[in-house]
Structure 1
Amino acid sequence: MDLRRHSLVLTIAVVMLAAPSPLRAAPATIDWVRYSVPETGAAVDIPTSIFTESAGQPEGGYGGRFLTSDRRADLTVQSVANEAGLSPAVFLARKNPPQGIVYKRVTPRFFVVSSVRNGRIWYNRCNLAGRFAHCVLINYPAAEKRQWDSVVTRISNTLASR
């Protein structure tokens, strides 16, 4: 291999290894915005410096979908009908969650379920309030779990309704 080609291969390898994940590429300070669903009163803090692209409305409810610029992670904020006033446990059971849930917490006000599928962590929290279940659904690379932990925690802990 000649010196120029060797240098080019080495440069490409260094660039690929240094390519940041969306969180590593995020500024030292993450920009957060309070996102509200006007039709239902649900609100949550979302990191707009991470989820930079809008992906429209979620199916089957009110809210919004957001993507990282490289589409490796997504966030859905959604309010879905709970006209019957189901408890979080019953609401979750009726949604037929997939097998193999790694984390599950159910309280009288909310539920959280999470697992890994196809190399991605999926996280779902729903707060039940009145006629709606206000939910956040987050999918991100499992290999980046530690970098996402604080982001997912803030999103989850700020989910509320008026």
Structure 2
Amino acid sequence: MTSMIRALALLTLAASSSAAAQAEPVRWTTYRIPETGTSVDIPASIFSDTAGRPDGYGQRFQTSDGRANLTVQSAPSDGESPARFLARKNPPPNIQYKRVTSRFFAVSSYKGDYVWYNRCNFAGGYVHCVLINYPRAWERDWDGIVTRISLSLNRG
């Protein structure tokens, strides 16, 4: 009986290792907005479909199942500070994470079963933003993905 339990444990371990080995790593690419010089690393293997254009310049992307989306956007800033711009957008009061500096803001919270994250950098007369929405159940697995996208946002 003990040898049967060991055999089952080894089969389970082999199956899980095989599944992990077959999982493809995330494939990243740099998306650029030519009109404003904005660039950002995006996980092209995750956000594989385009989903329209935002206001200003940029592109919306989504996962193949449509459950998550990413918007990369640039628009004229009208000289507003990040704090004033964010206040004008009237964000919901239940923000879980908020960081505002003289050059950018980053905010995140929950909306139902989804996480939303927005970061906007202010440079060169434009607001350069990434907006990400994804299922709350994915939050732990997506922390590194959201961090890389956020920190790579750049005005070229």
2:27 to 23, 28, 31: 31
1:42 corresponds to = 38
Q: Equivalents in 2 of 1:107, 1:158: separation in Å? A: 17
Q: Equivalents in 1 of 2:23, 2:102: separation in Å? A: 37
Kindly provide the amino acid, as one letter, of the partner of residue 35 in structure 1: Y
Runs (4+) of structure 1 moved beyond 6 Å? none
2:73 corresponds to = 78
Gaps of 5+ in 1: 1-23
1:54 corresponds to = 50
The verdict on how the C-alpha distance between 1:38 and 1:27 changes in structure 2, with shifts beyond 3 A counting, is: farther
The verdict on how the C-alpha distance between 1:61 and 1:27 changes in structure 2, with shifts beyond 3 A counting, is: farther
1:134 corresponds to = 128
For 1:44, what is the secondary structure of its paired residue?
A: strand
Q: What TM-score comes out, normalization by structure 2 length?
A: 0.83
Q: Equivalents in 2 of 1:97, 1:128: separation in Å? A: 18
Kindly provide the amino acid, as one letter, of the partner of residue 138 in structure 2: E
Deviations 1:50-105 (A, max 9, x none): 001011211x211000000111100000012112x111111111111122111100
Determine if the alignment matches structure 1 residue 151 to structure 2 residue 142: no
Query: Shift in Å at residue 127 of structure 1?
Result: 0.2
Fraction of identical pairs, as percent = 60
Q: Equivalents in 2 of 1:78, 1:50: separation in Å? A: 18
CA RMSD after TM alignment? 1.5
Query: Shift in Å at residue 130 of structure 1?
Result: 2.2
The count of corresponding residues between Structure 1 and Structure 2 is 136
Q: What TM-score comes out, normalization by structure 1 length?
A: 0.80
Q: Equivalents in 1 of 2:41, 2:142: separation in Å? A: 15
Q: Equivalents in 2 of 1:51, 1:137: separation in Å? A: 13
Kindly provide the amino acid, as one letter, of the partner of residue 46 in structure 1: I
Determine if the alignment matches structure 1 residue 68 to structure 2 residue 63: yes
Q: Equivalents in 1 of 2:63, 2:23: separation in Å? A: 14
